[in-house]
Structure 1
Amino acid sequence: MALDRPVTPDPYPLLPAAPAFGVTSADVADGQPLKADQVADGGDTSPQLSWDAVEGAQSYTVTCFDPDAPTPSGFWHWVLVDLPADVTSLEAGAGAEGAELPGSAFHCRNDGGGLGFTGAAPPQGDQVHRYFFVVHAVTEPQLGVDADASPAVVSFNLAFKTAGRAILHGTYQH
């Protein structure tokens, strides 16, 4: 049974403005369907990401958000904080729980309760969902949260500490 609801807006233009910078992926083509290993029943593998260095960035945060989830708050699939400023790429699978991460980087809880990347898993028959992979250039070496921080708390901190934002989105539908 399909859910009857309007398409949610792209949430990023609703945030405080931040300069854009480039992000690419060997695994995600902007606006195109995700690969099978990036979905919950296909491997839960985070995609490879590469981004432009941002002048003034002291660290990076990487997130994956589905605004189309049937909840008022969407669904956070991945929250990786405190990547060192000299890191401008992640290999596929870096989002695995327990993965070795550079410097003092760590995962915060996603909305599924795990500490890592949770693949796409929209309800069967639902509309196409968008998965926004976003790299946030952060103005401080540490965001000021710990692994127990909710994605909402991470986002709140990012609102005041973002020097730039790079966005790439994939799609998925059961």
Structure 2
Amino acid sequence: MTTARLFAATLGLALHLGAHAADFTVSSTDIAPGQTLAPAQVFQGFGCTGGNLAPQLSWHGAPAGTKSYAVTLYDPDAPTGSGWWHWSVFNLPAGTTSLPGGATAGTLPAGAIQGRNDFGDSAYGGACPPPGDKAHRYQITVWALGVDKLPLDQQASGAMLGYMLNANALGKAQLTGLYGR
């Protein structure tokens, strides 16, 4: 195959996957895109006083071949040099299309696992940027995966999970909320 044909085939595949990725969306009754998070999604501790409740999420339009999902909540603006992982849930069965507000280990679908957040817990940890910082972006990403299960447990770090997600992603949908104090 010539370089030009290889490039054309690769571009065609990328455009095909991109078209399907555009169909994959996530929404929330608790978070409006680009808007300030409600007190319910703010951390309780570290000087923050919130409800520390995971937001309700719904998604649809996942790529064909999706075998499981993962959800991550990440703050790329945290002053750490590596961002801040607030929440991760993985090994959600392929039939899952939503999570209720306030989801916990006891209310997640069977087999789903919450990874370790940067607060040190395997649970949701809400927004809590330093006082006086500009509003931080809280990126909720639903990952459509081509594997049934990731070989990780509840002690998985955000970095390890991120590696596994990027290695197995068929597509992803993202919603970003803001919060500052």
TM-score range, shorter chain: 0.7 to 0.9
2:107 is aligned, of 96, 100, 113, to 100
Does the alignment pair 1:133 with 2:144?
A: no
Contact 2:67-2:94 within 8 A present in 1 as well: yes
Q: Which runs of 5+ in 1 are unaligned?
A: 1-16
Counterpart in the other structure of 2:116: 109
Supply the AA of the counterpart residue of 1:110: N
Counterpart in the other structure of 1:26: 29
How many residues get paired?
156
Contact 1:53-1:88 within 8 A present in 2 as well: no
Does the alignment pair 1:146 with 2:161?
A: no
Alpha-carbon distance, 1:53 to partner: 4.4
Aligned alpha-carbon RMSD (Å): 1.3
Percent of residue pairs identical: 46
Counterpart in the other structure of 2:129: 122
How far apart, CA to CA, are the structure 1 residues paired with 2:135 and 2:146? 34
Which protein is richer in helix relative to its size? 2
More off after superposition, 77-86 vs 49-58? 49-58
How far apart, CA to CA, are the structure 2 residues paired with 1:159 and 1:120? 24
Alpha-carbon distance, 1:101 to partner: 1.4
Structure 1 residue ranges (4+ consecutive) displaced by more than 4 angstroms after TM superposition = none
SS at match of 2:153: coil
Contact 2:122-2:155 within 8 A present in 1 as well: no
Supply the AA of the counterpart residue of 1:35: A
Q: Which runs of 5+ in 2 are unaligned?
A: 1-16, 44-48
Counterpart in the other structure of 1:43: 51
1:165 is aligned, of 169, 172, 178, to 172
Contact 1:81-1:106 within 8 A present in 2 as well: yes
How far apart, CA to CA, are the structure 1 residues paired with 2:78 and 2:170? 28
User: Which structure ranks higher in relative contact order (CA pairs < 8 Å, sequence separation ≥ 6)?
Assistant: 1
Counterpart in the other structure of 1:82: 91
